[in-house]
A and B are shown apart, each in its own frame.
Chain A
Amino acid sequence: MSGFIIITLIILVFIVIYQIGKASEYAAVIRGEEKVKASTNRTIAILLLAMFVLSIWGIWMCNDLFKGKLLPVAACATGVNYDMMFNMTTLVTGIVFFLTQAVLFWFAFRYRSTGDKRTTFFFPHNNKLEIIWTTIPAIAMAILVAIGLRNWFDVTSPAPPEATVVEVVGKQFNWLIRYPGKDKELGKRDFRKINDANNILGLDWSDPHNMDDIIAQNGELHVVVNKPVKLLIGSRDVIHDVGLPHFRMKMDAVPGITTTLWFTPTITTDSMKLITHNPDFVYEISCDQVCGKGHYSMRGTVIVQTQAEYDKWMAAQQTYYSQNAPGAAPTTPAAAPTDAPKKDSVKAVTMK
C-alpha cells in the first residue's frame, strides 16, 4: 500500500513541477521574452558560480571526512612507492582539475549574455596557444609515464630466488592455498585428477613433491614478515582475481594459465591491529574479477607473522596426503560427488 502512496506522491510532484514549468513559459510571453531571457540568464550564471564554490567546499569537506580511510596503510615496500606515485598523480591532476573547472565556471559567469547583441571577440585560432597546450600535457604525461614504468617494472620484476613460493588457486567461491611443505617444492597437479572429496587441487600422487604439500582450504595465506613471498596463481573453473589492497597488488587467476606476483610484507597482522586501532584488523584477499553469484563472498585472508610464529603454525599443519588416503580415491574424475556445487552455494550464503 505504501508503495502506491509513494508512486501517487511522485506523480503529483511531477504534475506540480510540470505546471510550474508551463506557467513560467506563459509568464515569459506576457512579460516580454527578451526581458525574461536576460534575467534568467543572470540567475543561471549566478547559480553556476554558486554551485562551483559550493562544490569546492564540498570536496574539501569530503576529503576531511575520508581522511585516513582512503589508501589503507601500505604493508610492503612497493606499496610505499605506490603511495608516493599515487599522491603525486593526485597532486598534478588535482591542480589541473581545480584550474580548468574554475576557468570553465568563471568564464560561464563572466561572459554571460546580458541581453544586448554585444559583438564577441572573433578569435578562431591561434597556433601559439595550441602548441603551448599540446606541449605542456605531453611533458606532464611523459613524466608520469616515466615514474609509472619505473614502479611497474619494479613490481613485475622476477621474484628474488629466496622468496617463499605459495600457490593460490581460486574456485567458485573460495581460495585454496597450497604450501610446498618441507621439500620447498610444489608437486605437479592436473585438473583431470581433481576430486572435491579427496583431491581438491588434483595433485598428482605419482609426484613425490606432492607428498608433503599442505593445502589450506580456509583461504588463509600465512606469510613471514620481511621475507619475500611469491604467489603462483591459478584457477579451477572461471577467472578470479587475487586482490591484495594492503599490498597494492592484483593479479588474475585464469584457468589454464599460471600467473604470479610477489611482495615482501613489512608489517605483521598484529602490528597492523595497533596501527589501525582496530582489534579485528585482518589483511584480506578479495576476488576482483566477477566469477558468479558468490563473487562478493570470495574472501581470503593474509596472516603476516614473525618467523617463529610461522614455524609454529607450520609445524601444526598436516599434509594433504595424510588427510586424504589416495588409495581410496576414485581413479576417474567422473565419479566425483555431484553435490559439490551445492556445497559452494551454501558456503556463499553462510558467508554473509
Chain B
Amino acid sequence: MSNQEIIIDGPNVVHGGDTAPTDMHGHEHHEQHFIWKYIFSQDHKIISKQFLITGIIWAIIGALMSVFFRLQLGFPDSTFPIMEKFLGDWAKGGKLTPEFYYALITMHGTILVFFVLTAGLSGTFANLLIPYQVGARDMASPFMNMLSYWFFFAASILMFTSLFVETGPASGGWTTYPPLSALKEASLGSGVGMDLWLMSMALFVVSSLLGGLNYISTVLNMRTKGMTMTRLPLTIWALFFTAVLGVLSFPVLFSGLVLLIFDRNFGTSFYLSEIFIGGKALPHVGGSAILYQHLFWFLGHPEVYIIMLPGMGMASEVLSTNSRKPIFGYFAMIISLIGITLLAFLVWAHHMFVTGMSPFLGSIFVLLTLLIAVPSAVKVFNWLTTIWRGNIRFTPAMLFALGFVSLFISGGLTGIFLGNSALDIHLHDTYFVVAHFHIVMGVSAFFGMFAGIYHWFPKMFGKFMNNSLGYIHFFITFIGSYLIFWPMHYEGIAGMPRRYYDYSAWESFKHFQGINAFISIVAIIVFFTQLLFVVNFFTSIFRGRKLTNPNPWGATTLEWTTPIHPGHGNWVGEIPEVYRWPYDYKDDGHGNDFIPQTTPLRPGEEEH
C-alpha cells in the first residue's frame, strides 16, 4: 500500500502528499474545525498528545493516592485534617478508614498500571513514533486510532466515577481476586465500585486492542521505501512487540473479567465454591478461585512487558543518540526483545507459587522465569557497551535513560529472588515484592517515559522543555526512588506483608515503623517534584524556548526530517526514502558526527 493515499480526516478531506504538497502545511488548519482538529482528531500526533495529557492527569491522581496511604503507613497514630478536605467521610477527622485505604491502594495500582503506564505510555509513543519513524503519513487506520483514544477516555470516565460512589471504588487490590471481588458481602468496594471497575476495564481492553492492531499493521505495512524491518529503530521494534503482547493477552483478561461479571450478577459459579459469608452459605459449588488468577496473570505478566518494552526501546534510542554512538548489538537487541516477548507468555504462574498448585508445574515456571534473566542481561550489557567510549551529552532525556538502565538492573536482580519458587515462598506478597515491581516496572518504566517525553517534546510541540528543571526533576526523582524502595526490600526480607493498613499490633513487624515514616516523607517530596515536571511540561508548551533546528539532537531517524510544525501527513511532498540503518553515528565526511537514514550510502560504504 502506498503512503501517498488520501487521508480522510473528519468531515473535511485533507490532501495526501502527492495532491497538493503546499497545502499539507500551513493551510490545513483553516479548513478544519477545532473539534475535528484537536478533539475528534485522526492525526496520530494529536492522538498521541491526547493520550499523554490524559495519562499525566491520571498519574497525578494515582500518585496523590499514594501520598494519602503513605501518610497512613508512615504515621498511623497521627491525623491529617487536610485529607478530610480531599476525601471527605473516607478520612473523617483526618484519618483514613481501612476500607478506603484498601480502595486507595487498589485504585493506585489500577490507574498506574493500566491508565498511565499502558495507555499513557504506549498510547503516547506508539502513536507519536510509529508513523514518524517508519515513514508513514499516519496510522493504518486513523479512525480506529481515534476510537482507541475515545474508548480509553470512556474507560477513564467510568473509573473516575467509581471514586465517587457511596460504597467507594473497588478495593480488592488491582488484581481483584475473587471471591473477595465477586461478593458484595465480602467488602464495601465489591459493590457498585467493582461493577464500574469491571466495565471500565472492559472498555480499556477494547481501546488497547484497537490501538494494538493499528500499531502492528502500521509497522508491517506502512513503512516507507527502503525501510526494511532491519532498518527500523529499536523504539519501533519495542513498540511493535508491545502491541503484539497486548493483542494476544488482553482478550484473555477480558474473558476473565466477563466470567467475573457473570459470577457477580448472574449467579454462575466460575470462581466460587463452598463459601459461607454474611451469615449464610452461598449456593455456589464447583468453581475455582484459582482459575481467575490464571486468566488474570496470563495478561498480568505480559502486561509487565507491555509496560517495560516501550521504555527499553526509547532508552536504546536516547542512549545511542546522546552517546553519539550506534546502539551496540542491534540484532542482539531485537533477538532479546523477541525472547522476552515469547517468554512473557510462559511465566504467568510465577505469581501463583503459593496458591497450592502442583510443585512440578511450579518448577517449570521457575525455569522459564529465570530464563528471562538472559535476554534482560543481554540488553543491559548492550546498553553499557553503547555508552562505552561515547561522547555523552547529559540532556535530561539522557539522564533519565541512564536512570532507566540503573533501575532496570536493580529491579531485575530482585526478580531472580522472586522467580525462584523456593525463595518466593517466604517473600511472596511481602514488601520485597512491592519494592521489586515498583523499581522494575513502576519507576523504571516511568524513567523510560520521562526520557521519551524530554527527548521528543521538541518534536511534539516545537519547543524545548526547561533543562534546569529537568535536571532537578531527575536527581530528586532518581535518588528519591531508591530511598523509597530500597528500604522496602529489608522489610520484605523480614516477612512484612504488603497491603496492611497498620503494623503496630505485630510483634514481628512493628519495629519497621521508623523506616515507614522515612519512606513516606521521601515519597511526598518525590510527589511534589513530579508536579515540578508537570509545570515544566505545560508551561513549556506555551512558553518554552522555540526550536530553530528541525533536528535538535542530531539524530538519524526519520521523525527529525519533518518540519518543526508538521501538518497532518507529516512530510511536505514526498516521504523520504531510507538507505541505511538508524544508528549511523559516525563521521559523515562534512564534520557531522551522524548520518541520517535518508542519506544514500557513499560509494564504497558498507551497509551495517
Contacts and interface: CB of A to CB of B under 8 A. Distances in A.
Given A47-B475, A351-B505, A111 B493 contact: no
A295 B497 CA distance: 10
A141 B500 CA distance: 33
A127 to B, nearest CB: 8
Contacts of B493: 70-71, 86
A334 interface: yes
B508 interface: yes
A193 to B, nearest CB: 8
A294 B101 CA distance: 11
B569 interface: no
Contact of A22 (B286, B406, B466): B466
B326 A108 contact: no
B78 interface: no
Contacts of A10: 528
Given A122-B326, A333-B281, A144 B370 contact: yes
B472 interface: yes
Interface in B384-413: 384-385, 387-394, 399, 402, 405-406, 409-410, 413
B586 A119 contact: yes
B11 to A, nearest CB: 41
A107 B583 contact: no
Interface string B461-474: 00000111101100
Contacts of A246: 495, 508
A237 B494 contact: no
A152 B363 contact: yes
B276 A237 contact: yes
Contacts of B289: 239, 254-257
Contacts of B504: 352
A302 to B, nearest CB: 11
B276 to A, nearest CB: 4
Given A112-B392, A120-B325, A72 B508 contact: yes
Nearest to A156: B359
B290 interface: yes
Nearest to A253: B356
Contact of B102 (A86, A248, A290): A290
A250 B356 CA distance: 10
Contacts, number: 386
Contacts of B486: 59, 62
Interface centre among A44, A155, A257, A287 (most CB of B within 10 A): A44
B458 interface: no
Interface residues of A, number: 129
Interface string A119-138: 11111111001100110011
A223 to B, nearest CB: 17
Interface string B512-533: 0000000000000000100110
Given A17-B532, A284-B508, A130 B469 contact: no
B276 A18 contact: no
Nearest to B492: A70
B373 interface: yes
Interface string A272-297: 00000010111010111111111111
A238 B497 contact: no
A103 B384 contact: yes
Nearest to B394: A44
A60 interface: no
Contacts of B323: 111, 120
B374 A134 contact: yes
A191 B377 CA distance: 50
Contacts of A138: 374
Contacts of B468: 20-21, 24-25
A290 B325 CA distance: 48
Contacts of A119: 586-587, 593
A216 interface: no
Interface stretch (A203-211, A309-317, A336-344): A336-344
Given A122-B586, A250-B425, A341 B185 contact: yes
A331 interface: no
B539 A18 contact: yes
Contacts of A340: 278-279
A230 interface: no
A340 B279 CA distance: 6
A324 interface: no
Given A107-B388, A113-B392, A89 B416 contact: yes
Nearest to B393: A113
Contacts of A107: 384, 387-388, 390
Contact of A117 (B367, B414, B499, B593): B593
Contact of B378 (A101, A130, A254): A130
6 shortest interchain CB distances as A-B pairs = A245-B495, A256-B273, A259-B356, A156-B359, A151-B422, A296-B500
29 contacts: A18-B535, A59-B486, A71-B494, A101-B409, A103-B384, A104-B405, A111-B323, A117-B591, A119-B587, A120-B323, A121-B390, A124-B583, A124-B608, A125-B331, A126-B328, A137-B374, A144-B420, A145-B367, A149-B367, A152-B420, A191-B275, A236-B276, A237-B276, A238-B177, A241-B429, A255-B273, A257-B290, A296-B499, A296-B503
